[in-house]
Structure 1
Amino acid sequence: MSTTELTDAQAQRDSVPAVPTIHDDVLLICVNYRKPAETKRFVSSAREQSLNSSLRVVVVDNSPFPGEGGVADQLEGDLNLKAIAPEKNLGYFGGAELALREHLQSHPLPDWVIVSNPDVYFREHDVLKRLCDSHRGSEPAVIAPSIRTLESFVDQNPYMRVRPSRFRMRLNSWVFSRYPIDVVYQGLSWIKHRSLDGVTKEPVSRASSPSKIYAPHGSFIALHRSYFEHGGTLEYGAFLFGEEIFVAETARRLGLTVLYEPSIVIEHTERSTATGLWNRDISRYRRQASRYLARNFF
């Protein structure tokens, strides 16, 4: 059953008298793959958030071996923390979609659904509260907060301010479809990324006001309930990569707003390593994602 069908089923159940259930205003989904230390820190950071509403944290452990998720020892006695261990790696949005689908089987649609990597954390205790309150009454469908990397203080949002051209997306599809070219492209990108590490020792000045953008950075995406109520979904047709453009195109087709909100700051402990640059599986995932996006949206 799709997310949309589950939402419709929930609406039908709401018309029938039923035993009241707890309304989870914020559903925070963390999709982990072999990052136990980061996952533990993420869960700890989320638990410290002060909210006027309820917060439910779901960790989807895509790691292939038991215990790699790093949350089993934190589950006992916490009804607002849940871990899901699929039988296989579902990918980023695949894992998030499973978490949302299971949540909707016993809970109403939350006000906010947040999909996050495990290697982010909240430096302040009221980050999620400010996210919920920032545009109350006129909430955008998608909020892209300021995501600051610790090594370079670069803000990873906006991920894309404007929509890429059809030519650019087709070119990406061509580049990623050829393994040797993909390796060179990723290597140059890695060198550029590494060159920024440590260059800026102080946080760069951020934009002072929110602005509409095309696509949010995928490491932390906040989706308002209106995204799903208008037909949005997490059912992405590729295993990995390109989730940002999928959300952007979904919002665009539905006439919804993606808003960059610089007053909300997320810390990203992303580490830039060359590991995986020559991994053929990773290259295949990029190829699949670029083809899917080019064929379906451009």
Structure 2
Amino acid sequence: MAIVCVNYHSERHCSELYDTLLTQNDPAWELVIVDNGSGDDRALLDELAARERVRVVRPDNNLGYFNGAQFGVDDLRVGPAAPEWIVVCNPDIRFDDAGFVAHLRRRDADEPLVLAPSVVSPVMGEQNPFMSSVPSRGRTALRTAVLSSHLLGRLAGTYSTAVTGRRRRSIAPTPPTQPEQRIFAPHGSVIVFSRGYFTAGLDVHHERFLYGEEVAVARRCWERGVPVVYDPAARVRHLGHATTGRMPSRELTRRKREGVWFVQRELAHVRRARGAASERATP
């Protein structure tokens, strides 16, 4: 299994992520850190690169989240010798469950599949399933309207953390014994791709610098018939905002707005395609 972690001024988080991997019962993992930009703690990444099962790769410029992830995926072996599973994640993910790697390796990695693990945040509670189904037009239109203004965007972020986060934290995480569930989109902080996903010709390229990655993956899977599955027995912890918290607030709002426009367009495409398929199937 390979973990592709995309770093932006979060070297200490990368180091702590690595420490949680050392607790895994199954040592069949490697960590690839894509350094989109180091801060004052760049030396920490250099120290990590000298450790067993760790590589640090540095693109020529900041590629953003999923394009940075694709840079890391390209650095891995391809074909039959490729890792069985590739986990794309932020640096603020923690693999506290010592059985995470072993759990994944019990699955068939040659089946094209995307897994959404249980992602528990101390701020936002359980974050998967991110989208159980395609959201309504009204929901995405409201999000677009809110982010049309920098001030409204900041207020919405504060509200989401204070109110939505409190509500979601009050809901107990899904027990690991609960059955798996087919969903539309996984939470983007950590997404698990099978080897079969890549051998089927799919990738993780994203046309945006940041945001909307979940829906890009969801549309790709929907068009190709690749299942997206919420697996509550695969469990991680998400600290939240380690990277985006370092971006200037106006730039962050602009990136969110661009991401929401992208999501709105992609969801509209899926709705139209589903409607056309339904009409064709109607006698």
In 2, Cα distance between the equivalents of 1:278 and 1:138? Answer: 41
Matched, 1:181 2:129: no
Pick closer, same or farther for the CA change 1:124–1:252 going to 2, 3 Å: same
Pick closer, same or farther for the CA change 1:125–1:171 going to 2, 3 Å: same
Pick closer, same or farther for the CA change 1:40–1:106 going to 2, 3 Å: farther
Count matched residues. Answer: 266
Matched, 1:125 2:130: no
In 2, Cα distance between the equivalents of 1:294 and 1:277? Answer: 24
**Structure-2 residue corresponding to 1:72:** 46
**Structure-2 residue corresponding to 1:35:** 10
**Structure-1 residue corresponding to 2:58:** 85
Pairing 1:240-255 to 2, within 5 Å after superposition: 240-255=210-225
Structure 2 residue corresponding to 1:191, chosen from 162, 165, 181? 162
Matched, 1:268 2:238: yes
Letter in 1 for 2:117: P
Q: Secondary structure at the match of 2:24?
A: coil
Q: Which moved more, 1:244-253 or 1:188-197?
A: 188-197
**Structure-2 residue corresponding to 1:217:** 187
Pick closer, same or farther for the CA change 1:96–1:138 going to 2, 3 Å: closer
Q: Which moved more, 1:275-284 or 1:27-36?
A: 275-284
Identify, as 1 or 2, the structure richer in helix.
Answer: 2
Q: Tell me by how many angstroms 1:231 deviates.
A: 3.2
Any gaps of 5 or more consecutive residues in structure 2?
269-283
In 2, Cα distance between the equivalents of 1:277 and 1:89? Answer: 13
**Structure-2 residue corresponding to 1:4:** none
Q: Tell me by how many angstroms 1:83 deviates.
A: 0.5
Pick closer, same or farther for the CA change 1:205–1:281 going to 2, 3 Å: closer
Pick closer, same or farther for the CA change 1:104–1:178 going to 2, 3 Å: farther
Please give the root-mean-square deviation of Cα atoms over the aligned residues, in Å.
Answer: 3.0
TM-score after normalising by structure 1: 0.78
Matched, 1:114 2:84: no
Pick closer, same or farther for the CA change 1:77–1:195 going to 2, 3 Å: closer
Q: Tell me by how many angstroms 1:61 deviates.
A: 1.7
Letter in 1 for 2:16: R
Q: Tell me by how many angstroms 1:32 deviates.
A: 1.6
Structure 2 residue corresponding to 1:208, chosen from 166, 172, 178? 178
Q: Which moved more, 1:238-247 or 1:221-230?
A: 221-230
Percent same amino acid among aligned pairs? 26
**Superimposed CA distance per residue, residues 173-232 of structure 1 (whole angstroms, 9 cap, x where no aligned partner):** 3432332332332232122255359757xx545261111111111111101122223332
In 2, Cα distance between the equivalents of 1:198 and 1:269? Answer: 13
Letter in 2 for 1:183: R
Pick closer, same or farther for the CA change 1:205–1:297 going to 2, 3 Å: closer
Pairing 1:49-68 to 2, within 5 Å after superposition: 49-51=24-26, 54-65=28-39, 67-68=41-42
Pick closer, same or farther for the CA change 1:225–1:198 going to 2, 3 Å: closer
